[in-house]
């Protein structure tokens, strides 16, 4: 079985659709404050790479949540559509947005040191702290 697959999905109302050519089978949880504020809990998402096509562009709004990333959502129903890294164009997509989930497995968590004490996942996962995430993924300063 390949580490990636083609996936598609839609927002809650169907006004927007997404197709990703190289979707990771790994689901991760982000516990950073922005993701928890955005979703009301941890963001459970998959890396969909850069080969992503979106339909219903007139219904998509973006919010620049940092200097390096933006978050997309449906203007009609409010569904979270993606977290996109500006420099690379990489899309991180909420796992629940995708049609079907049989090919996915939950295996990592980031910003684990920011996770509040009131929830916990039972799955064994690879965990990264905020400092480890920034050291690995933060684009160099210009």
Confidence label for 1 from pLDDT (cuts 50, 70 and 90): low
Token pair in block for residue 49: 């790479």
pLDDT, position 92: 98
Count the residues in the chain. Answer: 142
Selection from 78, 105, 85 nearest residue 23 by Cα: 105
The class that CATH gives domain 4-127 is: mainly beta
Main-chain dihedrals φ then ψ at residue 37, nearest 5 degrees: -65, -40
13: pLDDT strictly greater than 70: yes
pLDDT, position 140: 67
Percent of the chain with pLDDT over 90: 88
Q: Mean of the pLDDT values across residues 83-102?
A: 93
For 42-56, write each residue's pLDDT tens digit. Answer: 999 999 999 999 999
Confidence label for 101 from pLDDT (cuts 50, 70 and 90): confident
Q: What share of the chain is helix, strand, coil (3-state, %, to 5)?
A: 15, 45, 40
pLDDT, position 134: 87
* Mean pLDDT score across all residues of the chain: 94
What residue ranges do the domains of the chain occupy? 4-127
Query: Which of 21-35, 57-71, 97-111 shows the lowest per-residue confidence on average (mean pLDDT)?
Result: 97-111
Q: Are 62 and 83 spatial neighbours (Cβ–Cβ below 8 Å)?
A: no
């Amino acid at each position: 079985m390949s580490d990636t697959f083609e996936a598609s999905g839609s927002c809650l109302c169907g006004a927007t659709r997404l197709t990703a050519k190289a979707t990771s089978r790994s689901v991760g949880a982000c516990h950073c404050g922005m993701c928890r504020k955005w979703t009301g809990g941890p963001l459970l998402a998959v890396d969909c790479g850069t080969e992503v096509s979106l339909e219903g562009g007139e219904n998509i709004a973006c919010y620049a949540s940092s200097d390096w990333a933006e978050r997309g959502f449906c203007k009609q129903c409010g569904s979270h559509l993606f977290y996109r890294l500006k420099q690379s164009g990489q899309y991180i997509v909420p796992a629940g947005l995708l049609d079907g989930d049989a090919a996915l497995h939950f295996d990592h968590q980031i910003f684990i040191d920011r996770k509040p004490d009131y929830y916990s996942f039972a799955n064994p996962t690879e965990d990264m702290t905020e400092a480890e995430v920034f050291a690995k993924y933060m684009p160099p300063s210009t």
